[in-house]
Amino acid sequence: MEQGDMVLIEYVGKTSDGDIFDISNEERAREEGVYSDEVEYRPVPVLIGSEYVIEGLEDKIAGMEPGDREENIQIPSEEAYGQRESDKIQTYPEKEFKKQDVNVRVGDEVMVGNRKGKVLSNSSGRVRVDFNHPLSGEDLVYEVEIVDKVEDDEEKARQIFRYRLGHGDLNFEDDKVEIDHSSADHDIPGELKQSVIEEILNSTNFNEVNVKDKQN
């Protein structure tokens, strides 16, 4: 497969110890005892070259074809979420969280600015927060099946829209795409908006993508 090609995959992601951290198929999730009614189970799009999945996994998927299935794709940590970095563990005064009416406890996930981290400790008015990805330092194992290759431009645009944004409507007219996000309770961040536009233009034959936000 080449950059800009899109496939739909079913997958199971595990740590090297066999613990499942992600899964796309509802029946399999129930079988494995990891089903959650808060998760939408469905085949996941992968747009080659656009980092929809981790680097090492995308490289493997790019060499597969519809109908192919691999049950033991091993991804070393450096091709997954990288090694844990000590400088991503930072300490903050507890009073900074109290100003926001946040009562921090060990194990909680907290937002500091635009970063999400996990509370490691809260002692003597000092809160240590780990901003490393939860899977950093882990070698991962994937089961992957290529369900389909998306060839239709409208369907490819729909998959990009759903994966990146999820909310709103998509309309097509000739060689134009309109993303109507005006009913959402927030505008699309500028960088994300640009990524969606570029992905649709670069992987389809559409020549124009317009986004209608709340502010339009």
| pLDDT, position 181 | 83
Out of 36-45, 83-92, 180-189, 192-201, which region has the weakest mean confidence (pLDDT)? Answer: 180-189
Please state the pTM of the whole predicted model: 0.84
The pLDDT mean for the chain works out to: 93
Closest CA to 144 of 22, 42, 9, 7: 9
Domain 152-216 listed as CATH 3.30.70: yes
Q: Is the dihedral of CA 78, 82, 84, 88 positive or negative?
A: positive
d(CA 5, CA 139): 27
24 vs 103, residue with greater confidence: 24
pLDDT, tens digit (0-9, with 9 covering 90-100), for 130-167: 999 999 999 999 999 999 999 999 999 999 999 998 87
Q: Is the dihedral of CA 134, 116, 160, 38 positive or negative?
A: positive
pLDDT above 70 as % of the chain: 99
Strand partners, 42: none
102 vs 64, residue with greater confidence: 64
Tell how strand 115-123 and strand 126-130 pair up: antiparallel
Give the pLDDT band (50/70/90) at residue 113: confident
Domain 86-130 listed as CATH 2.40.10.330: yes
Q: Looking at the domain covering 1-83+136-151, what would its CATH class be?
A: alpha beta
| pLDDT, position 67 | 96
d(CA 75, CA 173): 42
| pLDDT, position 216 | 55
| pLDDT, position 102 | 85
39 vs 102, residue with greater confidence: 39
Q: Are 75 and 56 in contact (CB under 8 A)?
A: yes
pLDDT, tens digit (0-9, with 9 covering 90-100), for 34-70: 999 999 999 999 999 999 999 999 999 999 999 999 9
Domain ranges across the chain: 1-83+136-151, 86-130, 152-216
Strand partners, 126: 93, 123
Q: Are 35 and 55 in contact (CB under 8 A)?
A: no
